[in-house]
Chain A
């Protein structure tokens, strides 16, 4: 495509242009172009020449390699520039922030915001991947402490303020910051968080009572189900848990499956889950919490009331004067004793629920023949970890790219626009 001014020059014109180049190169030209030669000479001779002071100063600067303070020297020095005399803007003055710079700055802000938002999305995303179907939520920070025999369990109230709602299921929790080693029942008791009298929770328990349960499905290599079950039991023992039931079954095709029901101190649940997850490939994992504070308080209140009634009856019994009165009180005491026993069982049951988490572990044989756990578990774990790291890196890369591509486009567009504008402005300067 031809430029607007482009026309085909005829041979004579081309010859003249060639002659012009010869003239400029100092070469002799034909007689026809002597006029052109004179024109060139006239214009070149008529051109202003540098003032000696300016030439000397410039020589000096070139020889010195234009030290950085040159700009100031030029302004004040021997160059009596337009800016100095006319007070107009200096050519050497630092430029105003250009469009490209502003666009770049705004793009960086946008990218940062996008990354922050993206990170937030990642943090709050409910991840249910097949490899580790763990649910992630940071809404609840459980701090349930457990020690066999002690009936105490609590949730950090600073994390879950607000009125109590009956049997309030809270969000699924995994990998929380359980700190059983630092928050003991004694410490909680000393701080008044947990009532010392565990058998009588009284009305309005200060601590939240939370029931936890979880399920974990592990995939084992063919023939490794029993071995993996044993290792699960070992982990349970390590965390002072109890194996409630254990069942290993084999179907007619030779496939095995094991189901274990474990009771683990609530405070140890996360650690135990983490340890169990390292035993093999986790194909599914769930974790649930249930607030049983109201039930616990209600049972405790009933127990306290029954005991108070019993105490009153005992006082009446001591004051009874007739056999009929005594018999009547004895009858009532028997009824009350039965109620106390029932309420005590309820309190104990709830305490145990709060204190011990139920973990159901299912071990299935991998049908793909992939090597999970077992003898080469270290290598497999390493490969799995490497793949996981790669996947995470890829995800991060995609997020970064998603944020950067618009930024790059904006910057490139701004850059191209700025260049075009600058070129046009320069061309406009020639339109005068």
Chain B
């Protein structure tokens, strides 16, 4: 059921996720999770591996989920983040993302402008420090609250707010420079 957001409140058990609920979680978050991982790793193959691994780990550990420590989505993104960072660390470098090919000519002016803006944002995002980029991706794709982000990163909520705000400002600056 795409689009449905599974929160801690909607999971019937205080701890543990049933296979059915896991499948719902998968349906609602797979695309965002892949988007986050792929944007972070900038490698589709690695992103596929990490995404599959994250879901498998989450499935195997679903009984360990504790609703009091956050939503299932935040829990899932935490697993994916760890797997992605492990992958980044193993590789020691990032590969260039096989970019979406630039639009080729036939679109309307609005579409071309949208594509250009998107390219600007992409370049700006890629130009950010990995820390900032990861935080923005986690926030945007994971749609996590600052409290959930803080728990995931291991810091305070206000610290996350500060970091996030700074990262957004840097992204804006980078966009302006790219434009």
Contacts and interface: CB of A to CB of B under 8 A. Distances in A.
Contacts of A426: 82, 85-86, 89
A63 interface: yes
A176 B92 CA distance: 69
Contacts of A81: 45-46, 48-49
18 contacts: A6-B158, A6-B159, A16-B168, A20-B164, A39-B175, A43-B39, A43-B121, A46-B100, A47-B39, A48-B35, A51-B44, A58-B55, A79-B45, A80-B45, A81-B45, A82-B46, A84-B45, A85-B45
B128 to A, nearest CB: 11
Nearest to B142: A24
Interface string A390-432: 0000000000000000000000000000000001011111111
Interface stretch (A88-96, A144-152, A260-268): A88-96
B59 A21 contact: no
A423 B90 CA distance: 14
A90 B91 CA distance: 10
B173 interface: no
A46 B121 contact: yes
A83 interface: yes
Nearest to B122: A46
Given A5-B163, A24-B139, A48-B44, 4 more contacts: A16-B165, A47-B32, A48-B100, A74-B52
A9 interface: yes
Interface stretch (B9-17, B102-110, B130-138): B130-138
Given A48-B35, A61-B52, A42 B154 contact: no
A25 B143 contact: yes
| Residue of A54, A65, A81 with most partner-chain B CB within 10 A | A81
Contacts of B59: 62, 65-66
A432 B93 contact: yes
Interface residues of A, number: 61
Interface residues of B, number: 73
A224 to B, nearest CB: 64
| Residue of A6, A9, A83 with most partner-chain B CB within 10 A | A6
Interface in A1-60: 2-3, 5-9, 13-14, 16-17, 20-21, 24-25, 36, 38-40, 42-51, 54-55, 58
B52 A79 contact: yes
A106 interface: no
A48 B46 CA distance: 12
A-B pairs with lowest CB-CB distance, top 4 = A47-B35, A81-B49, A82-B46, A426-B85
B121 A54 contact: no
A124 interface: no
A20 B146 CA distance: 11
A220 B85 CA distance: 77
B contacts with A: majority SS? helix
B51 A58 contact: yes
Contacts of B30: 50, 55, 58
Contacts of A332: none
B23 interface: yes
Given A47-B36, A62-B55, A432 B94 contact: yes
Nearest to B50: A91
A49 B38 CA distance: 8
Given A65-B19, A426-B89, A40 B140 contact: yes
B48 A51 contact: yes
B52 A88 contact: no
B162 interface: yes
Contacts of A430: 85, 88, 129-131, 134
A203 interface: no
